[in-house]
Structure 1
Amino acid sequence: MHSHFPPLNAVKTFEVAARKLSFSKAADELCVTQGAVSKQIQTLEKHLEVSLFKRTATGLELTEEGRQYLPAIAEAMHLIQGATSLLQQQRHQRTLNISLSPSFSNLWLIPRLAMLQSAHPDIHLAIASSDETVRFTEGTIDAAIRCLPLSPNYENSTLLVAEQLLPIIHPSRLAAQPIEQPEDLLHHPLLLHITRPQIWTAFLNNVLGNEHRGQAPHYSTGFEHFYMSYEAIRQGQGIGLLPHFMVERELAEGELVNPLGIRYTSGYGFYLQIPAFNAQSSRIYQFKQWLEEQLRAA
């Protein structure tokens, strides 16, 4: 068998013919003649030194070698098509590759994408979600947003908003068991945040002081992300602590309730991180300005 790369046109023709199990249908998809398809298949079979198709009484079938070859070829063609489409899109659009904390993305940015596109129609985002420490390499991530302990010492980072946590409950649960004073919070299940398990203790110490020492909180299901707690709250499963700016619409419209209007400054904040190689990017500057404007309004 030849060791060098097979002819790409023949490989593409094989993928289509194998998917259709018909040279004539493959010819229609590829906009060539049936004879051209047959010739490309012969070229590939000669290169591989195996037969890929066999004709039977019921039609065209793959040989055992053809069945082995097809999955990897189909995946490779899919990757090539995806990479080509992405490159073409980025050529014609001002795409920013942004890595966001999942809750910031799900609860805040995605509902406001139409506003961003209206304000900056020439900027398009490619959004990935992660809470991991960002390691910037040129050409991969253009900027990131992470929730971090408040500090003036983060390199290439701008504080977008200091986090204030609100005890949020669904109106139906509140109606069934009213909260008239801070101690009444303990009558409801408290939804844990498993990546920051200390926040309920800090919140209760701040709001109740020593007054809750005689009554142990009833902790319920733990969730990794705020957006997961958000959904559990909407299902009436308990009280969760959520960043103020992520639930402003729901509070304004009465879909969720902060029963006592309590706000707890957590000591965390959401930071925009921009690598040094993108510091002068006009796209990043416009995106940063828009973020700051929107979060100031919150």
Structure 2
Amino acid sequence: MPVSQSTSFRAALRKTQRPTMSPRPPLTALYAFATVAQCGSLRKAAHELCVTPGAVSRQIQALESYLGFRLFERGAHQMELTPKGVELQARVGDKLASVAAEVSLLRRGGHKAVVRVDAGVTFAMHWLLPRLASFSEAQAGLEVQLGTSGGPITLSTRVDLHIRRDPADLGDLAYQPFLEEWSVLVGSPGLLPGAPFSLPEIVKDIPRIGARSRPTLWSQWGAHHQIQSSFLEPTLEFDNTVLAIQAALEGLGVVVVPEIFVSTMLQRRLLSLVDPQRVLTGHYSYAVRSRQESTAVLTFLEWLRGQAS
């Protein structure tokens, strides 16, 4: 945050007098509220805003007085949103971030801030890309540059944010899980019998498709259903889940894959659930490369967590 902007915001926050009731809400206090809601504590929010925790606390109190209800339950080390606080965050959080992005865009002479994201190709194709349009609409001043790679990250590349399923691929970077991965057993509708069937019969009589990039999916699914993994060795195996899913679409067999990769295909009835039960097979985590997270990166992370929830 530039010195002049930080100084003016600090001066606004240090006003201890409560604002008088007026048709317009106290915007400085609203911005302080959104920052605390995002950071989860007064100390972290104060660091983000370059002010003291006491100054942030006074703004939260002023906003609660203005609204007539509590926004946070105050704990020893963190601030928990009340139901009313959750509602307010949902109503104003994205809008305040959008205003900040638009102002930043004007200050840069019309040049958009860029967030460089690196993710696995299948995750990017099936989960992240379909959602980026909504981010672009809400954050016109920000541009997401999405790159794809697999396995351990490469620190030599220019990236702000990495997303991986395996935390080991993130090296020594601090990471934060944000999305659970649930997997399902699917197959082509024309391949599945119309009469009632048992799962052991299906996995015995119909070819099992596997992906070498995700060798444990079948065993994880089998453990959930108490089916021995020796009966679940793939009869057809491909390099990755992209090819495994395509093989299932072609009617070559059934496959265990993350639900987020095939949700659109299930909705369009290109694939059918063989088993309605979902099995937890992992988590996706993000790691931020830069030591000082920029406003653009923080805005993207807030949106990312919102999409996952």
TM-score over 0.5 (shorter chain): yes
Q: Which amino acid aligns with 2:150?
A: D
Q: Which SS does the other structure have where 1:95 is aligned?
A: strand
Q: Decide whether the 8 Å contact of 1:181 with 1:260 is kept in 2.
A: no
Aligned counterparts of 1:234 and 1:145: Cα–Cα separation in 2: 27
Is 2:187 the partner of 1:169? yes
Aligned counterparts of 1:118 and 1:217: Cα–Cα separation in 2: 45
User: What TM-score comes out, normalization by structure 2 length?
Assistant: 0.57
- Cα offset, 1:154, TM superposition: 6.9
- Cα offset, 1:263, TM superposition: 1.1
- Call closer, same or farther: CA 1:177–1:193 in 2, change over 3 Å: farther
- Call closer, same or farther: CA 1:154–1:242 in 2, change over 3 Å: farther
- Cα offset, 1:178, TM superposition: 5.6
Aligned counterparts of 1:249 and 1:148: Cα–Cα separation in 2: 24
Which sections of structure 1, spanning at least 5 residues, go unmatched?
1-90
- Call closer, same or farther: CA 1:229–1:184 in 2, change over 3 Å: same
- Call closer, same or farther: CA 1:158–1:218 in 2, change over 3 Å: closer
State which structure, 1 or 2, has the greater radius of gyration over its C-alpha atoms: 1
- Deviation string for 1:58-81 (max 9, x for gaps)? xxxxxxxxxxxxxxxxxxxxxxxx
User: What TM-score comes out, normalization by structure 1 length?
Assistant: 0.59
Q: Which SS does the other structure have where 2:271 is aligned?
A: coil
- Cα offset, 1:177, TM superposition: 6.4
- Cα offset, 1:179, TM superposition: 6.2
Q: Which SS does the other structure have where 1:264 is aligned?
A: strand
Is 2:164 the partner of 1:146? yes
Is 2:119 the partner of 1:100? yes
Find 1:182's aligned residue among 199, 211, 216: 199
Is 2:269 the partner of 1:269? no
Find 1:249's aligned residue among 264, 282, 301: 264
Q: Which amino acid aligns with 1:269?
A: H
Aligned counterparts of 1:163 and 1:106: Cα–Cα separation in 2: 15
Is 2:214 the partner of 1:196? yes
Q: Decide whether the 8 Å contact of 1:104 with 1:246 is kept in 2.
A: yes
Q: Which amino acid aligns with 2:160?
A: D
- Deviation string for 1:218-240 (max 9, x for gaps)? 62332333222222222222112
- Call closer, same or farther: CA 1:255–1:156 in 2, change over 3 Å: same
- Cα offset, 1:142, TM superposition: 1.0
- Cα offset, 1:271, TM superposition: 0.8
Matched with 2:177 is 159
Q: Which SS does the other structure have where 2:242 is aligned?
A: helix
Aligned counterparts of 1:271 and 1:154: Cα–Cα separation in 2: 13
- Call closer, same or farther: CA 1:183–1:101 in 2, change over 3 Å: same
- Deviation string for 1:67-100 (max 9, x for gaps)? xxxxxxxxxxxxxxxxxxxxxxxx8222222111
Which sections of structure 2, spanning at least 5 residues, go unmatched?
1-109
Q: Which amino acid aligns with 2:144?
A: L
- Call closer, same or farther: CA 1:224–1:94 in 2, change over 3 Å: farther
Aligned counterparts of 2:242 and 2:138: Cα–Cα separation in 1: 26
Find 1:133's aligned residue among 152, 176, 181: 152
Is 2:273 the partner of 1:258? yes
Which residues of 2 match residues 1-298 of structure 1 at below 5 A?
92-137=111-156, 140-148=158-166, 155-174=173-192, 176=193, 180-186=197-203, 187-210=205-228, 216-217=231-232, 219-266=234-281, 268-277=282-291, 279-296=292-309
- Call closer, same or farther: CA 1:119–1:229 in 2, change over 3 Å: farther
Aligned counterparts of 1:285 and 1:131: Cα–Cα separation in 2: 24
Aligned length: 199
- Deviation string for 1:91-116 (max 9, x for gaps)? 82222221111111111122222222
Aligned counterparts of 2:206 and 2:152: Cα–Cα separation in 1: 35
Q: Which amino acid aligns with 2:151?
A: E
Q: Which amino acid aligns with 1:245?
A: I
- Percent of matched pairs sharing the same residue: 18
Aligned counterparts of 1:218 and 1:275: Cα–Cα separation in 2: 39
Q: Which has the higher contact order (CA 8 A, sep 6+)?
A: 1
- Cα offset, 1:165, TM superposition: 1.1
Aligned counterparts of 1:220 and 1:270: Cα–Cα separation in 2: 28
- Call closer, same or farther: CA 1:178–1:227 in 2, change over 3 Å: farther
- Deviation string for 1:144-198 (max 9, x for gaps)? 1111169xx9742111212111111121212x56663221331221111202323
Q: Which amino acid aligns with 2:121?
A: P
